[in-house]
């Protein structure tokens, strides 16, 4: 059985913190399904550790999970740039899709929400996800875990969302956002307009005023019945799933 040195354990444990992930340019993935997805993707998997090889005690010292998984991988962080996407918007041709659909996340903070949104984007064929710099980091171990491997198929690009909105508008593509005073999603989404950019707000504050002025189409996910006393809002991941499902219907 191979053993990990104290320095190796210290290094692997440090990757639970963003500052060290940034310093080393890597992140971790745990669990057989997620690591298998990584190995089958274009991502560069630098190291893989198996419990059967390093022992349960060592695995329990490096894991970010409540109980050790059978496998732990260290993966190189990719460098995604929005420029290629912006360059192709004028032709509305992204990844071979004639009517591209993108998400923009304005300050989503919860790792579980971001991970779920990435899974939703993967399921509904969203081309890419833009995120405001203040959003939770995509390589947070809790985010990676929540994606269940979808992280290896969807780009998450951290960039200025106001610039993103302007680029889409300049290209003649609609910019959608959800608001309590928006128009009913189910009655005001023409079948020939189910493309463009969908902006989702943060869990606490929704879409920021700076971006609201750049939204060309305000939408509302209506409660049922319309005049019912309901929760103040939907969870952002659930709302994203509802909107993506309607856009792809």
Q: How far is CA 49 from CA 15, 68, 149, 151, in A?
A: 14, 12, 18, 20
**What number does CATH give the domain 6-76?**
3.30.1330.30
Assign 92 a pLDDT band (cuts: 50, 70, 90).
low
Question: Per CATH, the architecture of 83-247 is what?
Answer: 3-Layer(aba) Sandwich (3.40)
| 1 or 119: which leads in pLDDT | 119
The structural domains of the chain, with segments of one domain joined by +, span 6-76, 83-247
Q: What percent of the chain has pLDDT over 70?
A: 94
Task: Name 175's bridge partners.
Answer: 197
| 73 or 194: which leads in pLDDT | 73
pLDDT tens profile 176-187? 999 989 999 999
| 84 or 148: which leads in pLDDT | 148
pTM greater than 0.75: yes
Q: Is the pLDDT of residue 96 over 70?
A: no
Task: Name 246's bridge partners.
Answer: none
Q: Is the pLDDT of residue 31 over 90?
A: yes
48: tokens are 């893989």
Q: Among candidates 21, 154, 19, 167, which has minimal Cα distance to 80?
A: 154
SS (H, E, C) the chain: CCCCCHHHHHHHHHCCCHHHHHHHCEEEEECHHHHHHHHCCCCCEEEEEEHHHHCHHHHHHHCCCCCCCCEEEEEECCCCCCHHHHHHHCCCCECCECCCEEEEEECCCCHHHHHHHHHHHHHCCCCCEEECCCCCCCCCHHHHHHHCCHHHCCCEEECCHHHHHHHHHHCCCCEEEEEEEEEECCCCCCHHHCCEEEEEEECCCECCHHHHCCCCEEEECCCCCCCCCCCCCCCHHHHHHHHHHHHCC
Q: Is the pLDDT of residue 95 over 60?
A: no
Mean pLDDT (whole number) for 7-30: 98
Residue 88 has what pLDDT?
81
- Do 120 and 151 meet the contact criterion of CB atoms below 8 Å apart? no
Looking at the chain, how many residues does it have? 249
Q: Is the pLDDT of residue 156 over 50?
A: yes
Q: Which residues contact 68 (CB under 8 A, 6 or more apart)?
A: 51, 56, 59, 60
């Amino acid at each position: 059985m191979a053993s990990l040195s104290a320095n190796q354990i210290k290094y692997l444990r440090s990757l639970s913190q963003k500052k060290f992930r940034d310093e080393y340019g890597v992140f971790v993935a745990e669990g057989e399904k997620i690591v298998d997805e990584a190995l089958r993707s274009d991502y560069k998997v630098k190291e893989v550790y198996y419990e059967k090889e390093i022992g349960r005690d060592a695995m329990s010292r490096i894991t970010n999970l409540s109980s050790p998984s059978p496998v732990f991988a260290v993966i190189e962080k990719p460098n995604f740039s929005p420029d290629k996407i912006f360059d192709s918007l004028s032709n509305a041709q992204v990844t071979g899709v004639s009517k591209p659909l993108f998400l923009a996340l304005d300050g989503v903070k919860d790792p579980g929400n971001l991970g779920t949104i990435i899974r939703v984007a993967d399921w509904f064929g969203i081309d890419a996800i833009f995120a405001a710099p203040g959003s939770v980091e995509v390589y947070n171990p809790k985010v990676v875990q929540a994606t269940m491997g979808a992280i290896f198929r969807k780009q998450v690009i951290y960039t200025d969302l106001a610039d993103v909105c302007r680029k889409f508008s300049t290209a003649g593509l609609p910019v959608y956002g959800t608001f309590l005073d928006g128009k009913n999603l189910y009655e005001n989404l023409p079948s020939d307009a189910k493309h463009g950019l969908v902006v989702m707000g943060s869990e606490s504050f929704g879409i920021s005023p700076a971006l609201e002025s750049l939204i060309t189409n305000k939408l509302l996910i209506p409660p049922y019945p319309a005049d019912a006393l309901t929760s103040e809002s939907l969870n952002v991941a659930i709302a994203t799933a509802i909107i993506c499902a309607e856009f792809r219907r």
